[in-house]
Amino acid sequence: MAITTNAISTAAANATAVQVEALNAFVQRHRRLFVLTGAGCSTPSGIPDYRDAEGGWKRPQPVTFQAFTGEAATRRRYWARSLAGWPRFATARANPAHRALATLEREGRIEALVTQNVDGLHQQAGSATVIDLHGRLDQVVCLGCGARHPREELQQRLLARNPGWERHVAAIAPDGDADLDGVDFASFEVPDCVGCGGLLKPDVVFYGESVPRARVEAAVAHLRRSDAMLVVGSSLMVYSGLRFARMAAEAGIPVAALNLGRTRADELLSLKVEADCVAALAGWVARDSG
C-alpha cells in the first residue's frame, strides 16, 4: 500500500510532538538552566540567519574585523548597507520564543541566558539576566577613545552626510545591514567619532575578533551554577557558543538543543529536538498568561 502525503505529514507532526514533550520534561527535571540562544530564536522576528540546516553558509560570510579596520572601502560598504538595513532591524519585535524564555526566567528556572544574537530582543521580551556574548547592534563604539553612542544617533549622522541614500530599498541581512547589489560606494561618507576623530564600529564582535574575556568568564560562572544547558536556535558552528556545550559535557551537565538541523555538538547532546523554536516553546507563553 502506498504511503500518502497526509500520512507522512501526520507521522512527522506526531514525532515532533513527542520531541517537544521530551523537551518539556527535560526543563521540568532541571531547576537551573543555562540557556544559549542563536539566530533561530530571532528569525521569526524577521531577522535572517546565515546558515542552513546543515550548518553551511547561506550567503557570503560577514565582514571581518581586519577588513573593517584596515580598508576604508570596506567601511564605506558596511555603513552604506547598514544605513539601508538599520530601520527594519531597529523595528524588529520579540516573538513568542523570546517571551517563552522570559517566562521561564520569571519562574526562577533560568540561571542565565547567553545569546549569540545582537538584536536585544531577549531584553525586549523581559529577560533580565542576559549576557550579550557578541555585543549589541544598537550601540556604536569608537576604536580610538572607547566612547559609546546609540546606533540611532549615528543613523542621523549617516543620513545627513549621504542625502538620497535612504531611498535605496534592499532586503535586510543577518547583521542588520542590507543587500545592496550593483551600488557604487565610492562616494559614501562615513562619519568619525565626534570626540576624538577615531573609527566608529558597531559594538558587536566581528569575525576575527575575540569575545571579551569578562563576558566569557561571567558565562562560565553561570554555567558552573547550572544543572543543565539548553541550546535554542543555534547550530553552534561558531566556537564562541560551542565552547559552553563542551564545558557542560565535560562537567557532566546534560545538554539539550532545540534547533532545526544539525549542530556542531550533536554528539554531546542528551536531547535533540528538531522543531521550530516558536512552535516548540509556545506552550510556555500560554502557561504564563493562563
Q: Cell numbers at residue 104, please?
A: 521561564
Which of 30, 122, 134, 222 is catalytic? The answer is 134
Say what angle helices 213-224 and 239-250 make with each other, to 10 degrees. 30
Which is it for strands 148-150 and 135-142: parallel, antiparallel or unpaired?
antiparallel
Using alpha carbons, select from 190, 132, 119, 125 the residue that is nearest to residue 161: 190
| Cα distance between residue 5 and residue 250, in whole Å | 43
Q: Which three cell numbers stand for residue 226?
A: 547550572
The residue type found at 244 is F
Q: How far is residue 223's CA from residue 206's CA, in Å, rounded to a whole number?
A: 24
2 burial (CB, 10 Å; 0-12 / 13-18 / 19+) is exposed
* Residue closest to 154 by CA, chosen among 143, 138, 168, 167: 138
> How many CB atoms are located within 10 Å of the residue 171 CB?
12
- Which three-class secondary structure state does DSSP give residue 126? coil
Residue 149 annotated to the active site: no
Catalytic residue numbers read: 134
